[in-house]
Amino acid sequence: MSFRTIDFLFAVVLVLTNMMGYSQQKVAFGTLTTAEKNLSTYEQDTLAHAVVLYERGDNYFEVINRRIYLVKEYHTKIKVLDELGLDYATISIPLYKNGSSVEKIKKLQAITHVDGTQYRVLPSEIFTKDVSDYKSIESFTFPKATQGSILEYNYKMISPFVFNFNGWAFQSEIPKIYSEFNAKIPGNYRYNRTLTGNLKLDLNEAKIQKQCFHIAGYPKDADCEVLKYAMRGIPAFKAAKQFMLSEKNYISRLDFELSENHRLDGVTDKYTKSWKDVDEEFRTDQDIGRQLTKNVFFEKNVRGSLLVHQDPLIRAKNIYSFIRNHYTWDGQYGVYGKARVKEAFEERKGSASEINMSLINLLNAGDIKTNLMLISTRESGLPKRNHPVMSDFNYAIAKVEIDGKTYLLDATDKFMPFGMLPFRALNHYGRVMDFKEDSYWFNIQPENENSYFVRANVKFDVEKGKALGVLDVVTQGYEAIETHKNLKSLSPQAYIEQMEQSIGDDYTIISHEFYEERSDERRASERFSFEVDNILQGNRVYINPFFVLFFKENPFKLEKRNYPVDLGYGRMYKYQLSMVIPEGYNVAELPEKQVVHMGDKIVTLEFYNQQMPGQISILFKLALNKSHILADDYEPLKKVFEHVTDIQRNSLVVLEKDGERSRK
């Protein structure tokens, strides 16, 4: 991931020639080039289902009825390359509203180009749907769309929200041949802007146009900043199905954020503030700052013994356990907007912010130093560090200091032990709002003792030709939490069926036992008894020694990945097998040992076997020692997991009946 602030006052103009022949002039709506008509495969991405041939946006400001509006014009052409590309034939345009202030679409045109014929979207085929009090969707579907079609549309949006000048996404899930963004900004509006992603601009141009913006009644016209940014040959952003943070962190785009508005009446509205300004606002904010001053309420409404234990760590754990069990999380994050901890406490239900602010209040009432920590969840993107962007934060947790040690707490999850955060909150860092001092950044360190350990013991019933085995499974850390959740949410039979899916169709689990005395919040110990029918067949028997598969397939399937692998937390998988050699058989072959280390032991893979009198032992160990693995290490990581899946699926113990080898 790379972040680069664009200096719009001193931009360098790069000569840009689009491969489809586009110039820097607007392309007339409804016209196609010969190259566009003839394109059947996109050579730069032959697996693409569709490709954006051309895309242009123009953002500017306009005075309508003595009010300043933001105007957004958009024009694009998409080529459908195969049947799956027809997914892009339905278009949805989000529109924002706030009371009587609403965004509106003007002059929407849409055409399906099919073999020289144009099919237009009629006004009656355009639909608007409210999805919330603040958002609606205008949508339509291109008629007659088929493989080889070109889908073209443009529109003009009028917005009363000048802060909604929010940028441009150059990259998307399909490739783009050419994408251009233009803007004309009156000098009284100041925007911070950031280029995200690892792609470089092919065109980066800025200039000043004098006296370009006029409002009737004001004697002086404003100068404008005129911007032009473009990229060509933009690859599709291919998101991984797992082990990644939000694609917002990596997708190539240009973000704008309103910093200041110098109004024509001489008043300046500042939107981007310093952290000192933000800290002061939070102290007095009714929905956050004041909600953290309810210590007395909580002291009066909990049993006194909760707050008096001499050991502060035990006191903190008791308070955490009380809040975690008292509340039911309603699924809402609730950082901004109405937050009322008293009402939530009485109703025993609340948002994440209400629950965790209640926790902070009660910990402080128990004389345990605790602060609010604002974070962004994994799916929401990383907060910007260079200046406060409060909309980057969507979640709140508690930061506790006890005897010089820090604990991060989130009481929304009834299975989460003291000092561990839910997976959604493992997003690297957050901002601690210390209302007595200045706020500061603080890193999130995930639990490092996370493991999945299986000890298998297998013997054979030669007469019946079956294998009988026991799996002792011990999980720890986040792996144990997952076990506890599954045991709670699934019926015994469903839980057994889930385990059977991890070992294969020929295996039957005949019993399961959970060991309460060997388990706690961070650890789960259980035993499965299983059998495999018809495993001893013929004179030569092939047995896969893995009666549990940690990974049925390689989770890293992308050919290339230009962004990090983020596991959330490091983890270790260990499988240990002791197998009794069946009577009347001998060992003909054992799988080869393998030892693979990636980098400075970022990932280690070990696979050993040993034959002893009457039995075979197998040891498999995979340690993922870092939770965040850089993009440069993706290929080595992918190779390691090719070994992992190959070992689990293709390792064979070969048994022969006694005397078979001598007959050969």
Please give the Cα distance from 338 to 658 (Å, whole number).
77
Same domain, 358 and 332: yes
| R_g of the chain computed on alpha carbons | 31
In the numeric block, the tokens 């019933």 are attached to 461
Between the two ends of the chain, the Cα-to-Cα distance in Å is 60
Burial 455-493 (b: 16+ CB within 10 A, else e): ebbbbbeeeebbbbbbbbbbbbbbbbbbbbeeeeeeeee
Q: How far apart are CA 497 and CA 436, in angstroms?
A: 54
CATH classification at residue 354: 3.10.620.30
Claim to verify: residue 479 and residue 436 sit in the same structural domain: no
Same domain? 138 vs 218: yes
CB 196 within 8 A of CB 250: yes
Burial of 452 per CB tally in 10 Å (0-12, 13-18, 19+): buried
pLDDT-based confidence at 37, cuts 50/70/90? very high
Q: DSSP label at 496? A: H
266 lies in the same domain as 280: no
Q: What is the mean pLDDT of the chain?
A: 89
Q: Would you state the pLDDT for residue 113?
A: 97
Residue 412's domain comprises: 275-443
Write down the pLDDT at residue 635: 95
- Domain endpoint, select from 375, 410, 443: 443
What count of other Cβ atoms lies within 10 Å of the Cβ of residue 205? 18
421 vs 19, more confident: 421
Q: What is the pLDDT of residue 264?
A: 65
Distance CA 545, CA 538 (A): 18
Same domain flag for 198 and 294: no
Asked if 622 and 579 sit in the same domain, the reply is yes
Res 2: pLDDT: 31
Of 443, 461, 489, the residue at which a domain comes to its end is 443
Q: Is the dihedral of CA 282, 279, 352, 380 positive or negative?
A: positive
**pTM for this predicted structure:** 0.86
Please indicate, yes or no, whether residues 384 and 485 belong to a single structural domain of this protein.
no
pLDDT in tens, 97-143: 988 899 999 989 999 999 999 999 999 999 999 988 889 999 999 99
> Among 152-156, 331-335, 394-398, which stretch is predicted with the lowest mean pLDDT?
331-335
Would you place residue 660 in the very low, low, confident or very high pLDDT band (cuts 50, 70, 90)? low
pLDDT tens digits, one per residue of 333-369? 977 766 688 888 899 999 999 999 899 989 998 999 9
80 and 43 part of one domain: yes
Q: Exposure of 524 by Cβ count < 10 A (0-12 exposed, 13-18 middle, 19+ buried)?
A: buried
> For the domain that residue 465 is a member of, what is the CATH number?
2.60.120.1130
**pLDDT category of residue 462 using cuts at 50, 70 and 90:** very high
Q: Which residues pair with 90 in a beta bridge?
A: 141
pLDDT score, position 538: 86
* Rounded Cα–Cα distance for residues 76 and 462 (Å): 70
In terms of domains, do 625 and 521 share one?
yes
Same domain membership, residue 612 and residue 482: yes
The pLDDT assigned to 661 comes to 56
CATH number (domain holding residue 64): 2.60.40.3140
> What DSSP letter does each residue of 158-198 carry, written as one string?
EES-GGG--EEE---SS-EEEEEEEEEEETTEEEEEEEESS
Number of structural domains (the chain) is 3
- Note the pLDDT of residue 244: 94
Of the residues 221, 252, 270, the one at which a domain ends: 270
Average pLDDT over residues 236-245: 92
Question: Which H or E element spans position 501?
Answer: helix 492-501
Q: Is the domain of 294 the same as that of 432?
A: yes
Q: Note the pLDDT of residue 451.
A: 97
**Residue 423 is encoded by which pair of tokens?**
């997976």
Does residue 221 sit in the same domain as residue 315?
no
